[in-house]
Amino acid sequence: MIESFGSRLERVFARSGRLCVGIDPHSFLLSAWGLADTAEGAREFGLRVVEATAGRAGIIKPQVAFYERFGSAGYRALEEVLAAARAADLLVIADAKRGDVGTSVEAYGQSWLAEGSPLEADALTLAAFQGVGSIAAPLALARERGKGIFVLAATSNPEGRDIQRARTADGRTVSRRILDDVAQWNAGAVDPATIGDVGLVIGATLDLSEFDLDLETPPDRVLPILAPGFGAQGARLEDTTKIYGPLSSGVIISASRSVLSAGPENIAEAVKTMSTQITDEYHRA
């Protein structure tokens, strides 16, 4: 039987903590690292981040767009970064934010979650503003293959607030409807993991009460929460449990610029320091 994503995430939390290091080869970061703004530069950047993360944290999150901008050469570079991360025993979340319906979204799932795909990752970010039912095919593939999905629920961009806080016919916000649907999907799994295979992306800089995500009690199965916004965007590690409340037990703290800006000489130490700080904060909570 294939091990579930939730079980694997539990082991990563216990072994390596909750830090997820973003791999975001912005043009300005490539320049700061002394690398060319090319597919080869992005490849080298990604491989160095993988090397710096291995043994110091357990999760990486390549931002696919920064490779995609270089076309086929960028995808070849990303494939090498993903392969290196797998070899280093890192859990890989492909931050692709795909979303569609029918066979199209099914193909996205196969691209990123199917065993043996050149782009195979352990988890994938998806948008489901057509309804969580629209991503049923990749959800099913993830469960079958022991992979994870992170569904956008509440994002920090101001353009998304009105849509995400809008209320459906039953009075729930769009964000809350997504949370409830994901929790229901996780409840249907038969594996014994405490953590579900499907989680949410919820920004750490938000007031979750505005989105009706300030739960009084946690779902029956812990929701993995991919939490961007710490560090450069302003959220503080010491406020994690205050921000997420009953959802805190599933939080994965995503950090990109706050560690990447340390540069190639200092990134390993930056990753180690932040990972240790996160672990210490959770022990104190």
- If you average pLDDT over residues 170-194, what whole number do you get? 91
- Give the residues across from 225 on adjacent strands: 200, 251
Task: Give pLDDT tens digits for 249-263.
Answer: 999 999 999 999 999
Q: Which residues of the chain form beta strands (DSSP E)?
A: 19-23, 59-62, 91-98, 123-126, 148-154, 198-202, 225-227, 251-255
Task: Give pLDDT tens digits for 55-85.
Answer: 999 999 999 999 999 999 999 999 999 999 9
CB atoms within 10 A of CB 34: 10
| Residue whose C-alpha is closest to residue 43's, from 21, 69, 76 | 76
* Burial tier of 207 (Cβ tally within 10 Å: 0-12, 13-18, 19+): exposed
Task: Give pLDDT tens digits for 144-155.
Answer: 999 999 999 999
pLDDT tier at 129 (50, 70, 90 boundaries)?
confident
User: Where exactly are the structural domains of the chain?
Assistant: 5-284
pLDDT for the residue numbered 284: 83
What's the topology of domain 5-284? TIM Barrel (3.20.20)
In degrees, to the nearest 5, what angle opens at C-alpha 73 toward C-alphas 70 and 79? 110
CA dist 182 → 67, 128, 208, 260, 270 (Å): 29, 11, 17, 32, 34
- If you average pLDDT over residues 258-285, what whole number do you get? 94
Q: What is the DSSP letter of 283?
A: H
CA dist 252 → 3, 16, 65, 76, 263 (Å): 20, 12, 21, 28, 23
Burial 167-180 (b: 16+ CB within 10 A, else e): eeeeeebbbbbbbe
Predicted TM-score (pTM) of this structure? 0.96
Q: Is 61 a catalytic residue?
A: no
What is the rounded CA–CA span in Å between residue 154 and residue 201?
A: 7
- Considering the chain, what is the average pLDDT of its residues? 95
Provide the token pair at 276.
């240790």
One of 97, 147, 242, 272 is an active-site residue; which one? 97
- pLDDT over threshold 80, residue 244: yes
Q: Cα(first)–Cα(last) distance of the chain, in Å?
A: 35
pLDDT for the residue numbered 190: 77
Task: Give pLDDT tens digits for 208-241.
Answer: 999 999 999 988 899 999 999 987 777 899 999 9
What is the rounded CA–CA span in Å between residue 107 and residue 121?
A: 14
What is the rounded CA–CA span in Å between residue 103 and residue 114?
A: 15
